Amino acid sequence: TQLLEQSPQFLSIQEGENLTVYCNSSSVFSSLQWYRQEPGEGPVLLVTVVTGGEVKKLKRLTFQFGDARKDSSLHITAAQPGDTGLYLCAGGANNNDMRFGAGTRLTVKP
C-alpha cells in the first residue's frame, strides 16, 4: 500500500504571503497529482506531474515532482483568500489506483 504523507496538516497565513506544502512517500509513482477541495464539494484536479524533476506552473502555483518520483511540493506565491481549501496529493502506478494523502488545510486571511 502506497502511503502519502502531507505536511503541514494545517496552515493559516495572511493574504500576500508565500507558502509551500509537501507530499512525501517511500514509494515511486508513475504520476502524482494535486487537487484542491472546498467544503461540500469534490476535489478538483490542479495538475499532474509525471517526470522526475518536473516543474509546472499554474498562475501563482508552482508544482515540483522530486527527482526520484517519491515526493512533490506545491508553492503558492502571494496567497489570496480564494486559495483557501484542502490541498490533496494523490499518487498512482500506471495511472491506476490513485491513493490520496490526508491533505493540507490552508486558510488565507484577508
Partner 1 sequence: EAGVAQSPRYKIIEKRQSVAFWCNPISGHATLYWYQQILGQGPKLLIQFQNNGVVDDSQLPKDRFSAERLKGVDSTLKIQPAKLEDSAVYLCASSPLRSGELFFGEGSRLTVL
List the one residue out of 41, 42, 44 whose CA is nearest residue 33.
44
Q: Phi/psi zone of residue 82: left (φ > 0), alpha (ψ -120 to 50 degrees), beta?
A: alpha
33 binds partner 1 (CB under 8 A): yes
3 binds partner 1 (CB under 8 A): no
39 binds partner 1 (CB under 8 A): no
Instruction: Read off φ and ψ for residue 3, nearest 5 degrees.
Output: -115, 120
12 binds partner 1 (CB under 8 A): no
Q: Phi/psi zone of residue 40: left (φ > 0), alpha (ψ -120 to 50 degrees), beta?
A: left
103 binds partner 1 (CB under 8 A): yes
Region from 11-19, 59-67, 74-82, 89-97 binding partner 1, contact rule CB under 8 A: 89-97
Residue 81's SS3 state is: helix
The smaller minimum CB distance to partner 1, of residues 75 and 105, is found at 105
Cα 7 from Cα 11, distance rounded (Å): 9
Least CB distance from residue 67 to partner 1, whole Å? 21
Q: Which residues bind partner 1 (CB under 8 A)?
A: 4, 6, 31, 33, 35, 40-45, 48, 88, 90, 92, 95-103
